[in-house]
Amino acid sequence: MWNFAAPFGFGGAVRNTAAFIRPNRIVRDLSGLPAVLGRFGPFEVRLATTSREIRKAQRLRFKVFYEEGAATPQQRAALTRRDICRFDKICDHLLVIDKDQLNRFGRKKPKIVGVYRLLRGDTAARHQGFYSETEFDIAPLLARQPGKRFLELGRSCVDAQYRSKRVIELLWRGLWVYAKHHRIDVLIGCASLPGVDPLALALPLSFLHQHALADEEWRVRPLAGRGVDMAVLDAKAIDARKGVAALPPLLKAYLRAGAKFGDGAVIDTQFGTTDVFTIMPLNDMGDRYLNYYGGPMEMPDSYVA
């Protein structure tokens, strides 16, 4: 925890303010990955390696989730203007950076414009488990898939000024390089629909339940007492085209990539969302998406996937 004591002592004596400057500590090992996972024009995708970069990622998340969205900040988040979560300290943080961003003096100052939080199964097992386990009972899934390498995706967001196909694709390309390097078999995570009223979300929830429900071997259900039914509408009342259109962009992307979803949703009152559990076995992802996101791109010469 940071020391927020005032830099001035009693009686007006000035303390050494250097002691109160937040250090930019090296907090992540790239585990054999290159510093830059890919480039596209002025953008590059890479992992955060320092505490300062993680704080900047948390600030972007605060801007998107709390200032734009309906999330309610807890005291520490409100004071720091950062989306702080206890899982951040054990996760890797994938960043898209605009290298051509200018500061107020007209000088280039790289800016983090997109983020993804990544939690590998081996890391989760050594610490407090997956974030998803705070909402869903995933123990049966893990038991049914022994030996599979899981990667949990979370806290994904892009700055409003950068929500272009280019930035989102670069996030996915970086994710693919990361997953391939760590020999990941399955992507999982909580994906959110805005709002906490299942009736208002009847169409997208019912569509996912009817058309994208995971097979039993992959199926996950909410924790006891947390779940709400996704099958709000009768199957005959679901217009598939309208159901897809009602999904948020990230859920549409997951669906196009071949994702399936758990049985039952969870209301997240803090973030003002209704969460569904997403499962993406990489072997089941459509070939055109694997070829697209795993295909050639501008990479450092020193890295061969």
In whole angstroms, give the CA distance from residue 53 to residue 177.
20
Measured distance between the N- and C-terminal CA atoms of the chain, rounded to whole angstroms: 38
DSSP assignment string, 141-204: HHHHSTTPPEEEEEEEEE-GGG-SHHHHHHHHHHHHHHHHHTT--EEEEEEEEE-S-TTTTHHH
In a domain, 79, yes or no: yes
Q: Tell me, rounded to whole angstroms, the distance of Cα 161 from its chain centroid.
A: 19
Q: How much is the pLDDT for 257?
A: 87
More confident residue, 269 or 107: 269
8-state DSSP, 14 = B
The average confidence (pLDDT) of the chain is 87
Instruction: Please name the residues in contact with 292: beta carbons below 8 A apart, sequence gap of 6 or more.
Output: none
- Which CATH number is 94's domain given? 3.40.630.30
pLDDT band for position 287 (50/70/90)?
A: low
pLDDT one-digit tens code per residue, 127-170: 999 999 999 999 999 999 999 999 999 999 999 999 888 888 89
Asked whether the predicted pLDDT for residue 7 surpasses 50, the reply is: no
Is 11 part of a structural domain of the chain?
Answer: no
- The pLDDT, as a whole number, for residue 52 is 95
| Cα–chain center distance at 294 | 19
Percent of the chain scoring above 90 in pLDDT = 73
Is residue 5 in some structural domain?
no
* Rounded CA separation 166/159 (Å): 13
pLDDT at residue 186 tops 70: yes
Give the DSSP letter of residue 37: -
Averaged pLDDT for residues 18-37? 76
Query: Which tokens go with 200?
Result: 């208002």
CA distance 189 to 187: 7
Percent of the chain with pLDDT strictly greater than 70:
84
Full residue range of the structural domain in which residue 112 is found: 25-294
pLDDT at 105 (0 to 100): 66
Cβ atoms within 10 Å, residue 138: 21
Predicted local confidence at residue 28, as pLDDT: 85
- Residue 12 maps to a domain: no
Who contacts 251 (Cβ-Cβ below 8 Å, separation ≥6)? 191, 193, 204, 208, 276, 278
Question: What token pair was written down for 106?
Answer: 């007209």
Residue 246 has pLDDT above 50, yes or no: yes
**Confidence check: pLDDT of 291 > 70:** no
**7 domain residue, yes or no:** no
pLDDT recorded at residue 8: 30
Question: How would DSSP label each residue in 240-265?
Answer: HHHHHHTS-HHHHHHHHTT-EE-SSE
Does residue 128 contact residue 86 with C-beta atoms inside 8 Å? yes
Residue 168 in any domain: the answer is yes
Tally Cβ neighbours within 10 Å of residue 109. 13
Q: What is the mean pLDDT of residues 236-265?
A: 94
- Is residue 250 in some structural domain? yes
How many independent structural domains does the chain possess?
A: 1
Mean pLDDT, residues 112-139 taken together: 97
Write down the pLDDT at residue 23: 66
Is 281 contained in some domain? yes
